[in-house]
A and B are shown apart, each in its own frame.
Chain A
Amino acid sequence: MKDTKTETAASFDVNDYLRQDRMPHFLCPGCGHGIALRALLWAVHEQGIPKDRLAVVSGIGCSGRLSAYIDANTFHTTHGRPLTFATGLKLARPDLHVIVITGDGDCLAIGGNHLIHACRRNLDITCVMLNNEIYGMTGGQVSPMTAEGRFTTTTPEGNTEPNFDACALAAAAGASFVGREVTAQVLALKTLLGQAIAHEGFSFVEVLSDCTEIYGRKNDLGASPEMMLAKKSAMRPYAYRNTVDVPFRPNALRTGVLTRTDRPEYGAAWRAMAARIREEE
């Protein structure tokens, strides 16, 4: 049998998709965002998307800075608003593949309303949310995804707010593709992102990244490998979804494809309606 996995890996060179003149990058040692970026570009490569047709729209924060490193049409927008820019861009230019890179603060706090409505609308955009559970760029403040009890610069005695399940939110709001993966499972992450990009409609992928430098230090979570492995072992992989009768980490979050439904893509529906109006004129 042909080893397609190895073959694909060999044909993919992340450097083909990075702006070499922007290196070295500014991410901290141990940051999970680099793994996520590599997996995303690998997925783009496997989907055969030409770089000229790829538009990457990002918001503000550590995740927001990633767009500048990608050799494509890149837009670093305002805090919380990348989905709104992406909505206009995709509607105006349906020929482009539009990927949004956002973070947990960008997407779920300041940009929460936009996420809900992007999910509901089902425009063909892939939203990749890098969840590192903290505002890293601004020095380590509490985010909507910070776990209870965790220490940040704005929760010096421990976080008293609960976090929430962003994937459940996206699914409830109508996202037609929802998935979650950890950075420790880079092949699974690459596959998931590829599925999200290939999906016709709005896709939301939560990547459980890690902020070693700030969040890890403040909460004594160890170095990057420890943080990544801890996250991996806290998850319930997709493969175990059918074992509910014999619960396997029953309270853990699930990874893999969580929701995939087939419903009309917004842009196509709009264009069909507009074409009908023009015919009737």
Chain B
Amino acid sequence: MVEVGLASDVAIILVAAAFAGILAVRLGQPTIIGYILTGVVIGPVGVGIVEPSLITEAMAELGLAFLLFLLGIKMRISEIRHLIAPIVKISIPQMAAIGLIGFGLAALLPFTFEQSVIIGLAVMYSSTAVVIKMLNDKGEATSLHGKIDVGILLAQDIVVVIILAVLAAGRPEGIGDVATSLGIVLVLVTATTAAAIAASRYLLPSLFRRIAEDTTLFFLVAISWLFIFVLVSDQVDVLLAPVGIEAYLSVEMGAFLAGLAIAQLPYSKDLQGRVNPLTDLFVMVFFVSVALDFEAADLLAYWQEAIVVAVALMIAKFVVFFALLNWQRFDLETTFLGSVGMLQVSEFGIVVAVAAAESDPPFIGTEELGFITLVALMTMSVSVYFIQYNQQLFERVEPYLTRFEQSDPVKPAGTDHKNHVLVIGYDEITRRAIRILEAQYDDIVVVDRNVEHIKAVEGAGYEALFGDFKYAKIRKDAGVAYADFIFSSSVQLEINEILLEEASEETTVFVEAATTEQADRLYDLGADYVIMAPQLSVVQFIEYLRAYFSDRSTFERAVAADMELLESGLLFPEMKDRGGEDND
């Protein structure tokens, strides 16, 4: 009854993108470039073996939704609060300036007023994907200039979603119309934001606390949460039609707010690691499918103009960012590195352009869309090298920039862990170890995937990190490479192997093993001590038993002491309804 062939378009896209991705990695280009070029090659511009299908379109839409969801999950307000003021003061004038420059450049070239407006709106953001990926690869994401860049990118993304929502409302018929759509959009955005924030205050904490330990359930419910927002924002016109309001919200905005609501929970970091791969996969399909709608003629229609605009924009972006960062009193190095990172036009520029092209009637044609895509492609490719060699570049130009040096620059807020104790999995053994270790260490970080344990750890005044140590994101936040003492009570061999691989030579590492073979292996990998809890406990128990048979009063004392300890409530609370399967 059901005829199903394998989604052949998806298959070709995947295989081609895999090759392109490998090629891009080898050539030191961001994978995005590889994906977009894949679309160019296999789509109508190139050999024309793939056409957009229902499945590729759905996957591309999912890709965008997931990308914004992921972005939302990363927006932990408490972590960027101290940078919010400078970031707002930088990003708003920056977008206005670059938007105007983009508009001006386009207006000078053979574009209409309306097209120039869209071009201006499309080029004012820098690429989240490129910048964050490069910063992560270089380990600079948590440096001061990294944080500033990330903050500005997030501010830009908020503007993107608002613009997308306005564009989704269709062509305005006058300034009043723009105001009405903007008004409705702002009301809807505010309402959705309020709903998201209310949920993150009142609904989600208790909800996710109950399920956070069950990884599958946690992941699927989070995705379900995302889709509630996607569905509402996608169908808001249908929902509001009975009341006579014509309104549109972008799926991206909904996805972003769904993520934002989760971001404020302690479980968000864990979720990031789980959503990331799905995002990678679907966003890949999105980038490939960007070019699927183009004919070669469209993409290259304005190639000369594109080169001019690309060069001009990169210079303009650097100057604007440098001036604004300097104005906000960041030190010279931060100002330079922060500016040099943001030279490219964002993939969101393409998204905005696509939305403008798909609006009914379209604001721009496919040729203008091709122009914007080409500009984004070129600026992204070039900017990758600027980020790659940003330090060397700074050393070269520093002598010429000394007059911009601040006398009293903003200091980076030190939140990173160094020379600390890292504890993986909180149980009675690690609790005792922490009590001993705290005599020598001030900074103790505990990673656990049990909600109750996290509460207990925080209650005891240590820093707690909710998450699965298997995920690189969690390990990075826990500062594995910089720890002085690592104590793992996970008996998952895989986790301990990863741990030993990433810990530095000087770090003292205690790990736990379930079997002798595992212990052997962990010693081979460089563990300083492997805890075999069952063996240790037997040794101790036999001491007690010896007392039981030969010296009853010693035994009674031991029992009384343990009884006292058990009743004292000094121990960490164990979840009563679960077994021991959660302490990783």
Q: Do A and B come from one complex?
A: no
